[in-house]
Amino acid sequence: MITSIFLRHFKIYKGITFIPISEGVGFSSLIGENGVGKSSVLEAIDCVLNKKNNDWPINNEAKNEGVGGDNFPYIAPVFLIKKSTLKNTKTADQELYEKAEKLSSFIWKNNLKTKSKSSSEFNNHKSELKKSYNTEDYFLLIVGKKHNDNSIYFGGYQNYIDFIGENPAIKSSDEEIQSYYKGFYDYIISHYSYLYIPVETDVFTYTKLETVEMQKLMDKNIQDEIVKAIKPGTLKQINKDLNSFVKDVESILEEYEYKGYHKNSLTMPDLVSKIIEAYFSIKVLNKKPKTGTKLIPVSELSSGEKRKALIDVAYSFLFKNQNTDSNIILAVDEPEASLHISACYDQFEKLFSLSKNKHQIIVSTHWYGFLPIVLNGSATSIRKNASNETSADFFNLYNYRETITQDKKKNKGPLPIDYNIKSYNDLVQSILFSILKDEPYNWLVCEGLSEKIYFEIIFKDEIKNSKLRILPLGSFKEVRKLYNNLLSPIKDPDYKINGKVICLIDTDSERVEVDYENNNKNLFFYRLWNNKKENLRTELIDVDKNSMSPPTEIEDCLSPFIYKQTLIEFSDEYDNIKNIIESCEVRENALNSYSVFDLKDSQKDVIKDFFNDNEGYNKIRFAEKYIEIYQTPFFKNETEMDWISKIKKIIN
């Protein structure tokens, strides 16, 4: 997988620029205004992985200033590769594998130190990768190229490599590096098939079976398939019969004979090329009509339908093709181009599903409606400042709205334009179109990431079967804001709403003011609340109800005995938690986590402080451990809590 890329003097990028792409997840997106360089990133990868070293468009300003000497253009992708997937069967491969070990170890252990800000950006990105990927199990490799140069280039690390020569105190020369890593570039890129679909792609040409792109999608080489189809001896018999025919002709001519310029017989490549020309070149992709029998050539489709056809073809092959030897990287420039917004969902949903199918998907896009439907992926926001300098902000789509909310708190002022673009207008529009579909999405909108961690496992069947999406927004005010924006269009009788949106918040000590309409069958707004009159049973109550005591958070509404077991897991780390577990009586008839222990007020404060520790990160840690225990066989038959059953009933 490609996790990032260094660019220097490539198209819009002047100087050295670092663009983060992924932290190891299969779906990545590049977002930003026109002209910031989103498509340039996809094109740069195409140049390196598909060996277009002499076709680079060089930055005009850099070209005018001069790009010779040390000021050379280069492209250097960064690869994260599971060691067990790298081929090392042959002796030559084994040597290159060992060299990959040395290079990867060097990059993992050493931070990049150059004058460019790209160095610190890469070091930060590498630190994030280390949190999820063991350096003993994964290679981190920079494998790049200079413009018009066949040698391999390791970006900013090139001048610091010291493990090739016998003396580690002496930096390796470029000649030593090129000699040592001969064949390494081809070795690494041979593991990947990069398919790039620019926005201006001609669907008619692209989808012809003999093209390189289609053969990569099919994971078949048409020439090999033709050779297989020709039975042994067929070529020999053809040459024998034709030679006999020519001799008969020559016998009539007497004083003349036919002789080939370079050869006298057909070869297998001759036969293969003629079959491709006569059989495959005449076949074009057609769309089957929904009614009738007349096929429609793709060249006659509308612009939007052509764009959809490209994704449909790629999806069909890649979804079924899980056993390919090469790692497929599909890069699509503006998948939404020429499509109505109602069709954009299907386009992005297909691409996202491919990323779960062991393929890496990278898209550049102007349409931000896909952000909330991506369960696991990333976005890189590229923008330029007044001085025309490029910056790239990377964020995880797992909880992107909550991230934006937290950034607002940190900035205490207006957010950058790329965040403003991802506004609630985009979000509301995105959700609205998703619940209008015949096979609609459903939404559970909550406050924080910890809720999402719980809900993604608790409601995993609904996520799979009912297209449920969990969307954390960061605070109850943001949830209320989204509800208010959705209320008007969902109430509109001109819309046929098929999906459900459930907004869910905690119960705080102060009442939340909301203009709630509890008669809507598609939009709900609830609070979690532990009812004292019902033995503190957790209930879902309308958000505008007066019941505010006791204050109730998600950690108060969990399964009592899974909660107790999870708390035990943290007792060695927190002595005051250990004291509570050892000294407090456990109520066997407890209906939720809030009432599982008979706690004094001071002990309740200890529990509260525990969840607020680490700037609230303990909520995340606790949720992850709770879900881990929740999925163990011991708790498999745990009785489902009423409030969870109610949400499932609404969705289903």
pLDDT digits (tens, 9 = 90+) for 566-579: 999 999 999 999 99
CB 185 within 8 A of CB 75: no
**Position 214: which residue type?**
M
d(C-alpha 58, C-alpha 74), whole Å:
10
Residue 301 resides in a domain: no
Higher pLDDT, residue 256 or 628: 628
214 and 249 assigned to the same domain: yes
d(C-alpha 514, C-alpha 195), whole Å:
49
Residue 290 resides in a domain: no
618 and 528 assigned to the same domain: yes
Residue 633 resides in a domain: yes
| Residue 458: band (very low, low, confident or very high) from pLDDT cuts 50, 70, 90 | very high
CB 512 within 8 A of CB 527: yes
With a cut of 90, say whether residue 32 has pLDDT above it: no
pLDDT at 525: 95
Phi then psi for 378, rounded to 5 degrees?
A: -145, 160
With a cut of 50, say whether residue 211 has pLDDT above it: yes
Phi then psi for 614, rounded to 5 degrees?
A: 60, 40
| Residue 414: band (very low, low, confident or very high) from pLDDT cuts 50, 70, 90 | very low
With a cut of 60, say whether residue 142 has pLDDT above it: yes
Residue 184 resides in a domain: yes
Higher pLDDT, residue 386 or 58: 58
Higher pLDDT, residue 529 or 327: 529
379 and 440 assigned to the same domain: no
316 and 180 assigned to the same domain: yes
Indicate the residue among 330, 355, 384 that finishes a domain: 384
| Residue 107: band (very low, low, confident or very high) from pLDDT cuts 50, 70, 90 | very high
184 and 243 assigned to the same domain: no
Residue 376 resides in a domain: yes
Residue 413 resides in a domain: no
Please work out, in degrees rounded to the nearest 5, the angle formed at the alpha carbon of residue 623 by the alpha carbons of 477 and 470. 50
Which of 408-412, 415-419, 487-491, 577-581 is predicted least confidently?
415-419
Omega before 372 within 30 of 0, i.e. cis: no
Span 322-344, pLDDT tens digits: 555 568 899 999 998 888 776 78
Q: Checking DSSP bridges between strand 327-333 and strand 296-297, what pairing results, if any?
A: unpaired
9 and 110 assigned to the same domain: yes
Placement of tokens 């764009």 in the chain: 307
Helix (H) or strand (E) holding 407: helix 400-411
What are the structure tokens assigned to 445, written together? 């909108």
Placement of tokens 């052509």 in the chain: 306
pLDDT at 415: 46
The residue-averaged pLDDT of 635-649 equals 91
CB 568 within 8 A of CB 582: no
Higher pLDDT, residue 387 or 565: 565
513 vs 356, 374, 484, 516, CA distance in Å?
41, 31, 12, 9
Residue 291 resides in a domain: no
The residue-averaged pLDDT of 543-565 equals 92
Burial degree of 152 (CB within 10 A; 0-12, 13-18, 19+): buried
Which of 179-188, 248-257, 338-347, 518-527 is predicted least confidently?
338-347
Q: Look at residues 462, 651, 647 and name the one whose alpha carbon lies nearest to residue 539.
A: 647
| Residue 168: band (very low, low, confident or very high) from pLDDT cuts 50, 70, 90 | low
Q: Domain of 630?
A: 425-651
With a cut of 60, say whether residue 410 has pLDDT above it: no
443 and 318 assigned to the same domain: no
With a cut of 70, say whether residue 120 has pLDDT above it: yes
Residues 6+ apart with CB under 8 A from 632: none
pLDDT at 323: 57
584 and 527 assigned to the same domain: yes
Which of 29-43, 200-214, 552-566, 638-652 is predicted least confidently?
200-214
Helix (H) or strand (E) holding 9: strand 2-10
Higher pLDDT, residue 507 or 420: 507
6 and 38 assigned to the same domain: yes
Burial degree of 481 (CB within 10 A; 0-12, 13-18, 19+): middle
Higher pLDDT, residue 2 or 88: 2
267 and 315 assigned to the same domain: no
If one counts the domains in the chain, the total is 3
| Residue 263: band (very low, low, confident or very high) from pLDDT cuts 50, 70, 90 | confident
What are the structure tokens assigned to 593, written together? 């986590």
What are the structure tokens assigned to 10, written together? 């490539």
Instruction: Please count the helices (runs of H) and the strands (runs of E) in the chain.
Output: 24, 19
Helix axes 234-253, 268-275, angle to 10 degrees: 100
With a cut of 90, say whether residue 30 has pLDDT above it: yes
| Start-to-end CA span in the chain (Å) | 37
The residue-averaged pLDDT of 285-293 equals 80
Average pLDDT along the chain:
86
d(C-alpha 279, C-alpha 227), whole Å:
14
With a cut of 80, say whether residue 413 has pLDDT above it: no
pTM confidence score: 0.76
- DSSP assignment of 508-573 equals -SSPPP----TT-SSEEEEEEEEEGGGTTEEEEEETT-S---S-B-GGGSS-HHHHHHHHHHTTTT
Indicate the residue among 333, 351, 384 that finishes a domain: 384
The residue-averaged pLDDT of 301-305 equals 85
252 and 370 assigned to the same domain: no
Q: Checking DSSP bridges between strand 523-531 and strand 537-542, what pairing results, if any?
A: antiparallel
The residue-averaged pLDDT of 227-242 equals 85
Residue 268 resides in a domain: yes
328 and 263 assigned to the same domain: no
| Residue 319: band (very low, low, confident or very high) from pLDDT cuts 50, 70, 90 | confident
